[in-house]
Structure 1
Amino acid sequence: MNTIAESKSSSLREAWRGIQQAKPGIRIREAAKDLGASEAELLATKAGEGVVRLQGPWPELLKSFKTLGKVMSLTRNDACILEHKGPFQDVNVTGDGPRAMATVIGPVETRVFFHAWHVAFAVTEEKSDRILKSIQVFDKSGEAVTKIYLQEKSDEEAYRSIIEEFRSPDQSAELEVEPYTIDPLNGPQDREAFLKEWSELKDTHDFFGMLRRHKVHRYHALELGSGKFTYQVDAQITPKQILDSASSTKLPIMIFAGNRGNLQIHQGKVRTIRVLERGHAGPEHWLNILDPDFNMHMRMDFVYSAWVVQKPTTEGLVTSVELFDREKNMIAQFFGLRKPGIPEREEWREVVKNLRAL
């Protein structure tokens, strides 16, 4: 590490220490924002002191999570966090290079996009009276992609083996990050052709490919489909109404939330729904699911719009509720739980029907 880089990382580390003293209990994500840095940059400053930088190949690192046994898998964006406890049961990798992706099926279910995996760390840290051990993956901007925390019955020997196998030769305290540039999506060139293709969908998974072919931002697609395939509902009451209904009727649902490198999925019933307020800089309104092996934390003051979206399939219409922030980034999606080849449940359609339309 050169002198300038060493000075920068040292200054960042001291600034992080100072903010932790000024705001005890502050989360690393919040501290990074206060310091104008990223989570990954802060972690790098502790290399050699409870932090080990890891390297790929990323598909092999993902597969190695199967050896850990029961863990807690955390995936988040700015407004929503999903946490599942369980093993990485079934990991399937497809494609090569930038197109490589993976599906994880089982108690932990995710869709993984390796093009966004840039750096990872094994982290040992003290929280209150606990020692937390984790593997944390970040994109090139230093934003967290996913975090895997060991639990009481996790295999710590397997964790140590992963660290040794994937340890990077670079254990410096300096980390270079760069922001993502967003390609403008100015489509569709032909609105009618776009909506016609939408009407002819056979599978919900074809929706993303349709957007890509027509170069349409997802939010703009919902605007284009308004009145035909989509309509808006009250953003501030919709998420809690869905969860309260699903909890009281024991209706199994699906919740999708993630970021550019990882999409985590909940499938099943939800039970304990709570609304809490917290925050260092001011009140933050959080909608929570607090079940034994599944937690969701959604920051409701970031939820700006909510849409009901319908997609034709060979089994009939499939209905989702999609939440967006003020910048039109997707926060989360809700579906009624269904299996391939099975029509959507009427109970889910009734939940959606009862949402307050705008």
Structure 2
Amino acid sequence: MKPHHRFALALTGALLISALPAGAASLAERYDALRTEQPKLALRDAAAKLNVSEAELLASTGIGKTVIRLQEGDNVPREIMRRALDLGKVMALTRNENGVIERTGVAMRLKPQEEITGLDADKEKEREARMRNIAGGYLGGEIDLRFTFKNWKYAFAVAQPGKDGVVSRSLQFFDQSGNAAHKLYVKSDEGVAVFDKIVADFRNPEQSAELKVAAAPVRPAEKPDSTIDVKEYQMAWNELNDVHQFNRLVTEFGMSREQSLRLGPPDKVQRITPQAVRQLLEESAKQKLDIMAFLGNDATIQIYSGKVGKVQEAGGYFNVLDPEFNLHLRDKAFHSGYVIKRAGVTSVEFFDHNGELVVSFFGVRERNKPQPQSWNDMTAALPKAADASRQASR
């Protein structure tokens, strides 16, 4: 298409949108106008341009056509996900503002004997919290998820015909603000009947497109560094004997996640460049390292464990594009990165310009064994941030 033709099409789309007064045009009409301008625009990005949530746009444009609204309630999301274990092969998708993780596979079920184990007091509390946020499985294996169901609100079943005529079936969940919490796509013929039964059993009697979406919660202001007992905090860090204790430590000192790293022991935290994520993934692919990638939001954390293969930049993201694992990172929005050592475990975390954690990585290790030296060497070689020397001199 010639440049002046593209400009004319974009201008036409813009005029269509501006010509539709907010009070006169339905959301569906505004969305149709936007799609005329940008036919490949993802629903989430379209929602942002239209100043609505993704859940509102999905409901307004799909209910009565390709979307069925499912029931709501404190236990409904958990029960739907429990039933979804019967879907077999699925593609699980979790995202945040600057990253998306997609994994195709079969979720593991929780064995009855795993419900009760001999743990010390701290680990018992962690186990109880975990048990409140599970759905009978998804712990480890190909579809590895951690849920915070209290932050799940809206659920929809979507059956959308593709360009090839094949119908894509998915269960899509959103939080109170209409942001995507998690999505599951059916990937087997056997799963279709299970999907249909879930939809029939959990169909909302009110197929209304009107959602009572709440405003996004205001992120608490970070405490001034001067109010933190840094010496005491660093001593507590050095006393950690399990990496899973770290979140509780951060909560006890009332810090933000990035602040907790910025004020960590200088010999345990190394600041790296935001784009070091590219080197991490490229080297992991080149060296065939087994890694763990954690990416999520306030409702769901999704975890991938294994090797990565095809790594490349495309579509404004830096990506892993493997047959059954995709990772899409908008790393140009990254602001900082850190190599972190806690309780003998080395990890790498990347934050965006809003101080939100986008993605974190670990080297896969066998139970009760240290991480591979190749992982430690690779993370130690990641490019240091320009202010790393100032950090080391704290």
The 2-side partners of 1:36 and 1:91 are apart by 41
Aligned letter for 2:306?
G
Q: Which residue of the partner structure matches residue 107 of structure 1? A: 142
Q: Which residue of the partner structure matches residue 175 of structure 1? A: 211
- Contact (CA 8 Å) 1:65, 1:88: kept in 2 or not? no
- Contact (CA 8 Å) 1:267, 1:337: kept in 2 or not? yes
User: Aligned to 1:342, what secondary structure does the other structure show?
Assistant: coil
- Contact (CA 8 Å) 1:118, 1:140: kept in 2 or not? yes
User: Aligned to 2:97, what secondary structure does the other structure show?
Assistant: coil
Q: Which residue of the partner structure matches residue 337 of structure 1? A: 364
- Contact (CA 8 Å) 2:155, 2:173: kept in 1 or not? yes
User: Aligned to 2:40, what secondary structure does the other structure show?
Assistant: coil
- Confirm or deny that 1:293 pairs with 2:324: yes
The 2-side partners of 1:354 and 1:189 are apart by 31
Question: After the TM superposition, which parts of structure 1 deviate over 6 Å for at least 4 consecutive aligned residues?
Answer: 7-10
Q: Which residue of the partner structure matches residue 295 of structure 2? A: 257
- The C-alpha deviation readout for 1:250-304, integer Å capped at 9, x for no partner, is 110111001000111110111111112x3xxxxx2x1111111111111121112
Q: Which residue of the partner structure matches residue 53 of structure 1? A: 69
- Contact (CA 8 Å) 1:195, 1:225: kept in 2 or not? yes
- The C-alpha deviation readout for 1:108-136, integer Å capped at 9, x for no partner, is 11111101101110011233224211100
Q: Map 1:1-358; keep pairs closer than 5 Å.
A: 11-45=26-60, 46-55=62-71, 56=73, 57-91=76-110, 100-102=132-134, 104=138, 105-129=140-164, 130-178=166-214, 179-186=216-223, 189-225=228-264, 227-236=266-275, 238-276=276-314, 278=315, 284=316, 286-312=317-343, 317-358=344-385
Aligned letter for 1:251?
L
Aligned letter for 1:181?
V
RMSD: 2.2
The 2-side partners of 1:200 and 1:275 are apart by 40
The 1-side partners of 2:24 and 2:293 are apart by 38
Closer, same or farther in 2 for the Cα pair 1:127/1:18, shift >3 Å? farther
User: Alignment identity in percent?
Assistant: 33
The 1-side partners of 2:217 and 2:156 are apart by 21
The Cα shift of 1:91 comes to 4.9
Q: For structure 2, which runs of at least 5 residues remain unmatched after alignment? A: 1-21, 116-126, 386-394
User: Aligned to 1:48, what secondary structure does the other structure show?
Assistant: coil
The Cα shift of 1:8 comes to 7.3
The 1-side partners of 2:356 and 2:301 are apart by 14
The structure in which a higher percent of residues are helix is 2
The Cα shift of 1:90 comes to 2.1
Larger of the two Rg values belongs to structure: 2
Aligned length: 339
Q: For structure 1, which runs of at least 5 residues remain unmatched after alignment? A: 1-6, 279-283
- Contact (CA 8 Å) 1:120, 1:138: kept in 2 or not? yes
- The C-alpha deviation readout for 1:125-177, integer Å capped at 9, x for no partner, is 23322421110000011000111111244510000000011112231011111
